[in-house]
Amino acid sequence: MPAALPYPFTPKTLVIDGQRMSYLDEGQGPAIVMVHGNPTWSFFYRRLVLALRDRFRVIVPDHIGCGLSDKPQDYPYTLARHTENLTRLIERLDLGRVSLVVHDWGGAIGLGFAGQRPEMIRSLLILNTAAFPAARLPWSIALCRLPGLGALLVRGLNLFSLGAIHLAAQRKLPAPVARGFLLPYDSWRNRVAVHAFVRDIPRHPGHPSWPVLCEVERNLARLVHLPMLILWGGKDFCFNDYFYHEWCRRFPQARRRYFPAAGHYLLEDAGAEIEPLVREFFLEHGG
């Protein structure tokens, strides 16, 4: 790990079906599990970990294929498998009831687990994500799904990860932060899951992950009684205000805070405002 990288942690490892899953395990107390999306990794949550680890045990896995985890080339990088891996990590660590933080693809993965095991969830923090089918798909992501061309763009030229550096944050990321986001995805081989995540976006009922995502959506009704905080970046090029309003409609009891100047990487754009809100919420509802 480069010394200049703002990631002052020593990850741990869990082996799942022969593959090493890297994860952060910081602090002591009630457990908070943070679930990242694509093309990020546990690095995305680094500031929240530092803000919470004095009062909580903060667990942040890197999905298989992402971050510092193994990146097998022949692996079922699907919504169902990522959800299963998250479930096995939480069960193996014997965390009891947990609070969940989800962002991007982490929404479908984390809430997939939560909907199956609502008795294990204390509270939920929602950050620019979805856990239900939607018709909207940005053209830049659609382009990365095209056969042949998509692999060239995502795995060959690294345009998905590079594009996120410029499009997902409204403020220019400091060079060490930009390097941190890109660090695990430095070769064709190491971008295998980044491409697989893009291809696994279910767009129609014939897609293998469509019924899985529909089950995640159905199970959201099992979570409506839980304390929820929705924090939303208003300049998200992918998860726009349609998704924000869907969350508000489905969970009208949720606390919410909208950041009109923040983008998809809202923790980078509005972290100084967000961190105390998150800390206050989990001190009240985190156990």
* Paired sense of beta strands 255-259 and 228-233, if any: parallel
CA separation for the pair 160, 154 (Å, rounded): 5
Query: Residue 136: what pLDDT?
Result: 79
Domain boundaries, the chain: 12-285
pLDDT tens-place string over residues 82-136 = 999 999 999 999 999 999 999 999 999 999 999 999 999 999 999 999 999 988 7
Query: What are the backbone dihedrals phi and psi of residue 255, each rounded to the nearest 5 degrees, phi first?
Result: -70, 150
- Assess contact for 234 and 259: CB atoms under 8 A: yes
Nearest C-alpha neighbor of 222 from the set 251, 242, 245, 246:
251
Distance set, CA 26 to CA 66, 70, 217 (Å): 19, 21, 31
pLDDT digits (tens, 9 = 90+) for 18-76: 999 999 999 999 999 999 999 999 999 999 999 999 999 999 999 999 999 999 999 99
User: Tell me, what's the pLDDT at 120?
Assistant: 98
| 169-135-65 Cα angle (round to 5) | 55
Give the sign of the dihedral formed by CA 113, CA 119, CA 120, CA 122: positive
Contact in structure between 42 and 61 (CB atoms under 8 Å): yes
pLDDT score at 126: 98
Class of domain 12-285: alpha beta
Residues in the chain: 287
pLDDT tens by residue, 156-191:
999 999 999 999 999 999 999 999 999 999 999 999
The answer on pLDDT for 3 being more than 70 is no
Backbone dihedral region for residue 135 (phi beyond 0: left; psi -120 to 50: alpha; all else: beta): alpha
**Beta-strand runs (E) in the chain:** 12-16, 19-26, 31-35, 57-61, 98-104, 121-129, 228-233, 255-259
> Is 29 within 8 Å of 56 (Cβ atoms)?
yes
Model confidence pTM above 0.95: yes
pLDDT in tens, 212-240: 999 999 999 999 999 999 999 999 999 99
Cα–Cα dist 96/33, whole Å: 11
Which residues, at least 6 apart from 217, have a Cβ–Cβ distance to it below 8 Å?
A: 131, 132, 133
